[in-house]
Amino acid sequence: MGPGELLVRVGVCGICNTDVKKITADLLPPPRIYGHESAGTVVAAGAGVTRFRPGDRVILFHHVPCGHCFYCRERVYAQCPTYKKVGVTAGFEPAGGGFSEYVRVMDWVVERGVEKIPEGVSFEEASFVEPVNTCLKAVETAGVRRGEQVLVMGQGPIGILFLLLARMRGAQVFVSDVFDRRLSRASELGADAVFNAGEVDVAAAVRPLTAGRGADLAILAAAVPALVPVALEAVRPGGRVLLFAQTERAERVPLPTAAICMEEKRLLGSYSADIDLQAESARLVFERVLPVRELITHRFPLAEIDQAIRLAANPRPDSLKIVVECA
């Protein structure tokens, strides 16, 4: 540890699909310890740290922007060079480190990327603050408005968060997935219509519910390249498609470009978290505005991290959020 840094004993770390991709596709050179949806307890504070002390329960954001570069001034924080540096590590090349017993939190993250967990909020719940932030940022980017009709494609834990956040904005929400159990859960959480994408043409199914036009917005919460043109077809002329799960640079998708030009459909992207939404995402989790704990279906001890990653990479009908218990 250096001045301004924290040592945190990890209690729980959620598994994010971006980490799964990096591990299963070997996208970055090893050795690295991944895991960035971390909640734990401060065990030591470096010189000069005044906001935190041993015993504090905290959540960590592993990326924090500088606040003054071109991209920060434009509020495109994920493109800030400082943001791209990972500030939480369990050793080796910094990569989040949450799949471990302890992490070192670097000084620039301690300054702006750590939030205290209130009493009565579990580590499991708190580990959702970072993923909720990423979804909240996407909803802001997409400009979800009251009365709009939104299609969320994919009902894993991220897709369900989009369902909940869009409904909070007053939108009518339709969802699609290939697992009926996930669709049943979405119905219980307020989805206005559900479609099994393995059985129906989702774009066609949306039209009767939208006066024949198509949805105002489609959010892709599933990393399936073939869904991008489906999403474009599912939205009305002048509608929007937001890509959230399309993070592999080598991926290429043929698009009907006339849909973007002649039909004036807009293709948007949203990636990672927004520091301006950090307090709000924490409030939504800590005050239990979002029922995040209900999304956890599987818990693995750290010693069984390989099984946890394997399940996350090959989801089953009964699996949603998977967390690793590190303490």
What is the number of domains present in the chain?
A: 2
- For the chain, the maximum distance between any two Cα atoms, rounded to a whole number of angstroms, is 63
Q: Is residue 134 part of a domain?
A: no
Residue 165 makes CB contacts below 8 A (sequence gap 6+) with: 135, 136, 139, 144, 290
Confidence (pLDDT) at 247: 86
Both 300 and 245 in one domain: the answer is no
Both 200 and 229 in one domain: the answer is yes
Q: Is residue 307 part of a domain?
A: yes
Both 119 and 146 in one domain: the answer is no
Q: What's the angle, vertex CA 245, arms to CA 200 and CA 65, rounded to 5?
A: 155
Length of the chain: 327
Please say whether the beta carbons of 151 and 217 come within 8 A.
Answer: yes
Both 189 and 214 in one domain: the answer is yes
Which residue reads 């001890």 in tokens?
301
| DSSP calls for 164-199 | HHHHHTT-EEEEEES-HHHHHHHHHTT-SEEEETTT
Residue 173 backbone dihedrals phi, psi, to 5 degrees? -125, 125
First to last CA, the chain: 20
Q: Is residue 238 part of a domain?
A: yes
The radius of gyration computed from the CA coordinates of the chain, to the nearest angstrom, equals 20
d(CA 175, CA 173): 7
Confidence (pLDDT) at 27: 86
* 106 three-class SS: coil
CA 246 to each of CA 1, 75, 251: distance values in angstroms, whole numbers, following the listed order: 35, 21, 8
DSSP at 143? T
Both 191 and 221 in one domain: the answer is yes
Q: Is residue 301 part of a domain?
A: yes
Confidence (pLDDT) at 25: 86
Range of the domain at 54: 6-128+290-325
CA 300 to each of CA 76, 219, 263, 307, 321: distance values in angstroms, whole numbers, following the listed order: 35, 30, 47, 8, 11
Q: What's the angle, vertex CA 151, arms to CA 74 and CA 201, rounded to 5?
A: 135
Task: Give the CATH number of the domain where residue 229 resides.
Answer: 3.40.50.720
Q: Which amino acid is at 70?
A: F
pLDDT tens digits, one per residue of 195-229: 999 999 999 999 999 999 999 999 999 999 999 99
Q: Is residue 283 part of a domain?
A: no
pLDDT of the chain, 327 residues: tens digit per residue? 899 999 999 999 999 999 999 998 888 999 999 999 999 999 999 999 999 999 999 999 999 999 999 999 999 999 999 999 999 999 999 999 999 999 999 999 999 999 999 999 999 999 999 999 999 999 999 999 999 999 999 999 999 999 999 999 999 999 999 999 999 999 999 999 999 999 999 999 999 999 999 999 999 999 999 999 999 999 999 999 999 999 888 889 999 999 999 999 999 999 999 999 999 999 999 999 999 999 999 999 999 999 999 999 999 999 999 999 998
Both 51 and 146 in one domain: the answer is no
Task: Give the CATH number of the domain where residue 76 resides.
Answer: 3.90.180.10
